Amino acid sequence: MDVNKPTGVQTVGDQPHRPPPERHEEAPERDEDDKARRERNNSWSADAAVDLGGALAGGVTPEVQHILDDFAAQIEPLRAEVGLAKKHEAYYREIALAHSFLPVPNRREFTRELKHVIDHIANLSPSAALVLAHVGNIGDLRRHHGRKAADAALCHVAKAIAAAIHPTDAVGSLCGEDFGIIVLNGEPDVLNARIAAIRNHVVSPAFSWPDWHAEIDLVFGTTVLQDGWTAEQAVDMADRDLIQR
């Protein structure tokens, strides 16, 4: 071959040994099920699977309805159990927060409420106060007439305090013969008026028990709540004031 002799350049399509590609027609659907499946998929993309009423848009076959009925039969007992559990929770919560026989919250719930007020004391003007009420002669009643008489006297005092305080105030048992009262307005005049109202409600109507005619003796201690205190610190400060009185 003479490398110096010019030769023509053939294009790829002009090469005699490479025939042009054949044109294939689009293959027909081989499986009618595949075609139907694609049509269903296209229709599902445009239509909602479930209507607003909760029923299947395309209707419910007996087999599907049977499955739904089985689900419903399993869900209803679970729903009943959840409702019963919620009732039990509310019942045990009430027991945990209420006093065993007095119609006021127990010490745990009262100190929780007291701590809540102290945590938000900066938003109160004037500041809130704590009043500690001690039934001084309940021990004499207990020794001479028994526990039942003492419990009845404490119930009388609890009801009297609840009737005397403002709806925004709170009362609770601090165990034994002590009651705590949270007064949101801690001004001295308001505290004195609240204490006077409690005394009046305790003595009128007076507590009566067979063969016991002494009046219930109440001693009070007060303290203005301070930011940063714990509930126990507030009770201790009111108790110090009660002892001094």
CATH of the domain at 139: 3.30.70.270
In a domain, 44, yes or no: no
Give the pLDDT of residue 38.
67
In a domain, 132, yes or no: yes
Q: Which of 241, 218, 215 is nearest to 135 (CA)?
A: 218
What is the domain range of residue 85? 65-97
In a domain, 194, yes or no: yes
DSSP assignment of 3-55 equals TTS--PPPPGGG-TTSPPPPPPPPPPPS-HHHHHHHHHHHHHHHS-SB-TTSS
Number of domains in the chain: 2
pLDDT tens-digit map of 175-185: 999 999 999 99
pLDDT over 90 (residue 40): no
Alpha helices by DSSP H, listed for 120-164, are 138-145, 147-164
Residues near 178 by Cβ (< 8 Å), separated by ≥ 6? Answer: 132, 133, 134, 135
Alpha carbons within 13 angstroms on the beta-carbon side of residue 165 total 26
When pLDDT is cut at 50, 70 and 90, the band that residue 44 belongs to is very low
When pLDDT is cut at 50, 70 and 90, the band that residue 147 belongs to is very high
Please tell me the distance from the alpha carbon of residue 69 to that of residue 66, in angstroms, as a whole number.
5
Helix (H, G, I), strand (E, B) or coil at 144: helix
What letters, b where the CB count within 10 A reaches 16 and e where it falls short, cover 129-148?
bbbbbbbeebeebbeebeee
In a domain, 114, yes or no: yes
In a domain, 72, yes or no: yes
Rounded mean pLDDT of the chain? 82
Place of tokens 């019942």: 91
Higher pLDDT, 116 or 31: 116
* Same-domain check for residues 191 and 164: yes
With a pLDDT cut of 90, the percent of the chain lying above it is 53
* Same-domain check for residues 124 and 229: yes
pLDDT over 80 (residue 46): no
Mean pLDDT of 33-53: 54
Q: Which of 97, 117, 151 is the last residue of a domain?
A: 97
